[in-house]
Structure 1
Protein backbone atom coordinates (compact mmCIF):
# COMPACT_ATOMS: atom_id res chain seq x y z
CA UNK A 1 0.00 0.00 0.00
CA UNK A 2 2.79 2.47 0.88
CA UNK A 3 4.48 1.80 -2.46
CA UNK A 4 1.23 2.52 -4.30
CA UNK A 5 0.79 5.81 -2.43
CA UNK A 6 4.42 6.77 -3.12
CA UNK A 7 4.00 6.03 -6.81
CA UNK A 8 0.76 8.03 -6.94
CA UNK A 9 2.38 10.97 -5.12
CA UNK A 10 5.35 10.93 -7.53
CA UNK A 11 2.95 10.86 -10.50
CA UNK A 12 1.01 13.83 -9.15
CA UNK A 13 4.22 15.82 -8.62
CA UNK A 14 5.46 14.93 -12.12
CA UNK A 15 2.13 15.90 -13.66
CA UNK A 16 2.04 19.24 -11.86
CA UNK A 17 5.67 19.97 -12.84
CA UNK A 18 5.10 19.46 -16.57
CA UNK A 19 5.28 22.78 -18.38
CA UNK A 20 6.17 24.74 -15.25
CA UNK A 21 8.50 27.66 -16.01
CA UNK A 22 11.57 28.04 -13.81
CA UNK A 23 13.67 31.14 -14.40
CA UNK A 24 16.51 32.99 -12.76
CA UNK A 25 20.17 32.90 -11.91
CA UNK A 26 21.64 29.40 -11.87
CA UNK A 27 24.34 27.60 -9.95
CA UNK A 28 25.92 24.57 -11.60
CA UNK A 29 25.77 21.41 -9.49
CA UNK A 30 27.42 19.15 -12.06
CA UNK A 31 27.49 18.67 -15.83
CA UNK A 32 23.76 17.99 -16.13
CA UNK A 33 22.26 19.50 -12.99
CA UNK A 34 21.58 23.12 -11.98
CA UNK A 35 20.02 24.96 -9.11
CA UNK A 36 17.73 27.62 -10.58
CA UNK A 37 16.02 29.89 -8.09
CA UNK A 38 16.22 27.24 -5.38
CA UNK A 39 14.92 24.44 -7.63
CA UNK A 40 17.22 21.53 -8.48
CA UNK A 41 16.93 20.98 -12.22
CA UNK A 42 18.25 17.97 -14.13
CA UNK A 43 18.74 18.79 -17.82
CA UNK A 44 16.35 16.76 -19.95
CA UNK A 45 17.70 14.29 -22.49
CA UNK A 46 21.39 14.31 -21.55
CA UNK A 47 23.73 12.51 -19.18
CA UNK A 48 27.08 14.07 -18.29
CA UNK A 49 30.07 12.36 -16.67
CA UNK A 50 29.82 11.84 -12.92
CA UNK A 51 32.04 13.94 -10.64
CA UNK A 52 34.28 10.99 -9.76
CA UNK A 53 34.15 9.26 -13.12
CA UNK A 54 37.50 8.65 -14.78
CA UNK A 55 38.57 7.96 -18.34
CA UNK A 56 42.01 6.52 -17.81
CA UNK A 57 43.79 9.25 -15.85
CA UNK A 58 41.43 11.99 -17.09
CA UNK A 59 38.62 13.33 -14.86
CA UNK A 60 35.79 14.57 -17.14
CA UNK A 61 33.10 15.40 -14.53
CA UNK A 62 34.59 18.71 -13.36
CA UNK A 63 35.36 19.67 -16.97
CA UNK A 64 31.72 19.06 -17.93
CA UNK A 65 30.53 21.19 -14.98
CA UNK A 66 32.93 23.98 -16.02
CA UNK A 67 31.63 23.82 -19.60
CA UNK A 68 28.02 24.11 -18.42
CA UNK A 69 29.00 27.09 -16.28
CA UNK A 70 30.68 28.72 -19.29
CA UNK A 71 27.56 28.16 -21.44
CA UNK A 72 25.47 29.92 -18.80
CA UNK A 73 28.04 32.74 -18.46
CA UNK A 74 26.27 34.59 -15.62
CA UNK A 75 23.02 34.86 -17.60
CA UNK A 76 19.62 33.98 -16.24
CA UNK A 77 18.50 30.47 -17.10
CA UNK A 78 14.98 29.71 -18.35
CA UNK A 79 13.71 26.16 -17.92
CA UNK A 80 10.52 24.40 -18.93
CA UNK A 81 9.79 21.48 -16.64
CA UNK A 82 8.92 18.14 -18.21
CA UNK A 83 8.72 15.82 -15.22
CA UNK A 84 10.24 15.00 -11.83
CA UNK A 85 12.81 12.21 -11.55
CA UNK A 86 13.03 9.53 -8.87
CA UNK A 87 15.36 11.76 -6.83
CA UNK A 88 12.82 14.60 -6.72
CA UNK A 89 14.67 16.79 -9.20
CA UNK A 90 12.72 18.71 -11.81
CA UNK A 91 13.72 17.45 -15.25
CA UNK A 92 13.61 20.33 -17.71
CA UNK A 93 14.80 21.77 -20.98
CA UNK A 94 16.79 24.89 -20.16
CA UNK A 95 18.23 27.79 -22.11
CA UNK A 96 20.68 30.56 -21.34
CA UNK A 97 20.87 33.34 -23.87
CA UNK A 98 20.00 31.84 -27.23
CA UNK A 99 21.06 28.25 -26.62
CA UNK A 100 19.51 25.02 -25.38
CA UNK A 101 21.95 23.96 -22.65
CA UNK A 102 21.42 20.23 -23.24
CA UNK A 103 22.12 20.60 -26.96
CA UNK A 104 25.22 22.68 -26.29
CA UNK A 105 26.61 20.19 -23.75
CA UNK A 106 26.14 17.25 -26.11
CA UNK A 107 27.41 19.14 -29.18
CA UNK A 108 30.59 20.12 -27.33
CA UNK A 109 31.21 16.53 -26.22
CA UNK A 110 30.62 17.14 -22.51
CA UNK A 111 27.51 14.94 -22.28
CA UNK A 112 25.82 12.08 -24.08
CA UNK A 113 22.35 12.06 -25.56
CA UNK A 114 20.41 10.08 -22.94
CA UNK A 115 18.45 8.08 -25.52
CA UNK A 116 16.77 5.99 -22.84
CA UNK A 117 14.60 9.06 -22.26
CA UNK A 118 14.91 11.18 -25.41
CA UNK A 119 16.29 11.16 -28.93
CA UNK A 120 16.41 14.98 -29.07
CA UNK A 121 20.21 15.26 -29.07
CA UNK A 122 21.31 12.28 -31.18
CA UNK A 123 22.46 14.49 -34.06
CA UNK A 124 24.61 16.62 -31.77
CA UNK A 125 26.18 13.52 -30.22
CA UNK A 126 26.96 11.99 -33.62
CA UNK A 127 28.76 15.19 -34.68
CA UNK A 128 30.71 15.42 -31.38
CA UNK A 129 31.66 11.75 -31.62
CA UNK A 130 32.84 12.15 -35.23
CA UNK A 131 34.95 15.17 -34.24
CA UNK A 132 36.36 13.42 -31.16
CA UNK A 133 35.19 16.22 -28.86
CA UNK A 134 35.33 16.02 -25.07
CA UNK A 135 34.45 12.59 -23.69
CA UNK A 136 34.42 11.09 -27.18
CA UNK A 137 38.07 11.97 -27.71
CA UNK A 138 39.08 10.17 -24.51
CA UNK A 139 37.15 6.92 -24.95
CA UNK A 140 35.01 7.50 -21.87
CA UNK A 141 32.29 5.03 -21.03
CA UNK A 142 28.81 6.44 -20.65
CA UNK A 143 27.83 7.54 -17.14
CA UNK A 144 24.96 5.03 -17.06
CA UNK A 145 27.45 2.21 -17.76
CA UNK A 146 29.84 3.62 -15.16
CA UNK A 147 27.03 3.82 -12.55
CA UNK A 148 25.81 0.29 -13.39
CA UNK A 149 29.21 -0.99 -12.24
CA UNK A 150 28.40 0.37 -8.78
CA UNK A 151 30.52 3.49 -9.05
CA UNK A 152 29.33 6.82 -7.77
Structure 2
Protein backbone atom coordinates (compact mmCIF):
# COMPACT_ATOMS: atom_id res chain seq x y z
CA UNK A 1 0.00 0.00 0.00
CA UNK A 2 1.38 3.35 -0.93
CA UNK A 3 1.59 6.28 1.34
CA UNK A 4 -1.05 8.18 -0.72
CA UNK A 5 -3.61 5.36 -0.29
CA UNK A 6 -3.40 5.48 3.47
CA UNK A 7 -5.93 7.55 5.41
CA UNK A 8 -6.76 8.40 8.93
CA UNK A 9 -9.34 6.25 10.67
CA UNK A 10 -10.10 8.99 13.23
CA UNK A 11 -13.02 10.52 11.24
CA UNK A 12 -14.60 7.08 10.89
CA UNK A 13 -14.25 6.34 14.61
CA UNK A 14 -15.69 9.76 15.51
CA UNK A 15 -18.66 9.25 13.16
CA UNK A 16 -19.43 5.81 14.62
CA UNK A 17 -19.16 7.17 18.17
CA UNK A 18 -21.58 9.98 17.31
CA UNK A 19 -24.07 7.48 15.85
CA UNK A 20 -23.80 5.24 18.92
CA UNK A 21 -24.29 8.20 21.29
CA UNK A 22 -27.32 9.34 19.31
CA UNK A 23 -28.83 5.83 19.46
CA UNK A 24 -28.22 5.64 23.21
CA UNK A 25 -29.93 9.02 23.70
CA UNK A 26 -32.95 7.91 21.65
CA UNK A 27 -33.28 4.63 23.58
CA UNK A 28 -32.94 6.34 26.98
CA UNK A 29 -35.53 9.01 26.12
CA UNK A 30 -37.93 6.48 24.58
CA UNK A 31 -37.64 4.27 27.68
CA UNK A 32 -38.34 7.21 29.99
CA UNK A 33 -41.41 8.20 27.95
CA UNK A 34 -42.66 4.59 27.87
CA UNK A 35 -42.34 4.20 31.66
CA UNK A 36 -44.10 7.53 32.26
CA UNK A 37 -46.94 6.42 29.97
CA UNK A 38 -47.24 3.10 31.81
CA UNK A 39 -47.60 4.93 35.14
CA UNK A 40 -50.16 7.26 33.57
CA UNK A 41 -52.07 4.24 32.16
CA UNK A 42 -52.40 2.77 35.64
CA UNK A 43 -53.66 6.11 36.98
CA UNK A 44 -56.17 6.48 34.14
CA UNK A 45 -57.55 2.97 34.70
CA UNK A 46 -57.89 3.49 38.45
CA UNK A 47 -59.49 6.89 37.98
CA UNK A 48 -61.97 5.48 35.46
CA UNK A 49 -62.99 2.68 37.82
CA UNK A 50 -63.36 5.07 40.74
CA UNK A 51 -65.29 7.58 38.64
CA UNK A 52 -67.62 4.95 37.17
CA UNK A 53 -68.34 3.53 40.61
CA UNK A 54 -69.14 6.92 42.13
CA UNK A 55 -70.74 8.36 39.01
CA UNK A 56 -73.19 5.50 38.55
CA UNK A 57 -75.48 7.06 41.09
CA UNK A 58 -73.86 4.91 43.75
CA UNK A 59 -75.94 6.26 46.63
CA UNK A 60 -79.21 5.46 44.86
CA UNK A 61 -78.05 2.05 43.69
CA UNK A 62 -76.70 0.95 47.06
CA UNK A 63 -79.50 2.42 49.16
CA UNK A 64 -82.49 1.54 46.99
CA UNK A 65 -81.26 -1.51 45.06
CA UNK A 66 -80.68 -1.94 41.38
CA UNK A 67 -83.49 -1.32 38.93
CA UNK A 68 -83.96 -3.41 35.82
CA UNK A 69 -82.22 -0.96 33.44
CA UNK A 70 -78.67 0.26 33.10
CA UNK A 71 -77.24 2.63 35.65
CA UNK A 72 -76.96 6.23 34.52
CA UNK A 73 -73.57 7.85 34.97
CA UNK A 74 -73.57 11.34 36.42
CA UNK A 75 -70.75 13.22 34.72
CA UNK A 76 -70.42 15.70 37.60
CA UNK A 77 -70.14 12.95 40.24
CA UNK A 78 -67.78 10.93 38.06
CA UNK A 79 -65.54 13.94 37.46
CA UNK A 80 -65.44 14.75 41.18
CA UNK A 81 -64.51 11.13 41.94
CA UNK A 82 -61.76 11.15 39.29
CA UNK A 83 -60.30 14.40 40.68
CA UNK A 84 -60.43 12.96 44.23
CA UNK A 85 -58.71 9.75 43.05
CA UNK A 86 -55.93 11.71 41.36
CA UNK A 87 -55.49 13.92 44.42
CA UNK A 88 -55.44 10.99 46.86
CA UNK A 89 -53.03 8.96 44.72
CA UNK A 90 -50.49 11.81 44.58
CA UNK A 91 -50.69 12.09 40.80
CA UNK A 92 -49.84 15.80 40.81
CA UNK A 93 -46.55 15.22 42.63
CA UNK A 94 -45.63 12.24 40.44
CA UNK A 95 -46.69 13.96 37.20
CA UNK A 96 -46.46 17.77 37.57
CA UNK A 97 -48.77 19.48 35.09
CA UNK A 98 -51.15 16.50 34.74
CA UNK A 99 -54.49 17.28 33.08
CA UNK A 100 -57.57 15.08 33.21
CA UNK A 101 -60.55 14.98 30.88
CA UNK A 102 -63.66 13.01 31.85
CA UNK A 103 -66.29 11.99 29.28
CA UNK A 104 -69.43 9.91 29.57
CA UNK A 105 -70.43 7.91 26.50
CA UNK A 106 -73.60 5.96 27.27
CA UNK A 107 -72.67 3.40 29.92
CA UNK A 108 -68.92 4.05 29.51
CA UNK A 109 -66.81 6.51 31.48
CA UNK A 110 -63.65 7.60 29.65
CA UNK A 111 -60.77 9.29 31.48
CA UNK A 112 -57.94 10.85 29.46
CA UNK A 113 -54.79 11.94 31.28
CA UNK A 114 -52.08 14.09 29.72
CA UNK A 115 -48.84 15.02 31.46
CA UNK A 116 -45.49 16.47 30.44
CA UNK A 117 -42.55 14.11 30.75
CA UNK A 118 -39.04 15.25 31.59
CA UNK A 119 -36.75 13.34 29.27
CA UNK A 120 -33.28 12.65 30.70
CA UNK A 121 -31.36 13.49 27.51
CA UNK A 122 -32.22 16.37 25.23
CA UNK A 123 -31.56 15.76 21.56
CA UNK A 124 -30.76 18.71 19.32
CA UNK A 125 -33.79 19.65 17.26
CA UNK A 126 -36.22 17.76 19.52
CA UNK A 127 -39.22 19.59 20.99
CA UNK A 128 -38.61 21.29 24.32
CA UNK A 129 -41.54 19.65 26.11
CA UNK A 130 -42.82 16.14 25.50
CA UNK A 131 -46.28 14.97 26.53
CA UNK A 132 -47.53 11.50 27.35
CA UNK A 133 -51.19 10.57 27.10
CA UNK A 134 -53.17 7.70 28.58
CA UNK A 135 -56.82 6.74 28.30
CA UNK A 136 -58.71 4.57 30.76
CA UNK A 137 -62.33 3.54 30.61
CA UNK A 138 -64.86 1.67 32.69
CA UNK A 139 -68.28 0.37 31.78
CA UNK A 140 -71.25 0.48 34.10
CA UNK A 141 -73.51 -2.36 33.15
CA UNK A 142 -75.12 -4.44 35.89
CA UNK A 143 -75.13 -8.14 35.18
CA UNK A 144 -78.71 -9.31 34.67
CA UNK A 145 -77.87 -13.02 34.67
- Per the normalisation by structure 2, the TM-score is 0.23
Give the number of the structure whose residues are more often strand, by fraction. Answer: 1
- Per the normalisation by structure 1, the TM-score is 0.22
Give the number of the structure whose residues are more often helix, by fraction. Answer: 2
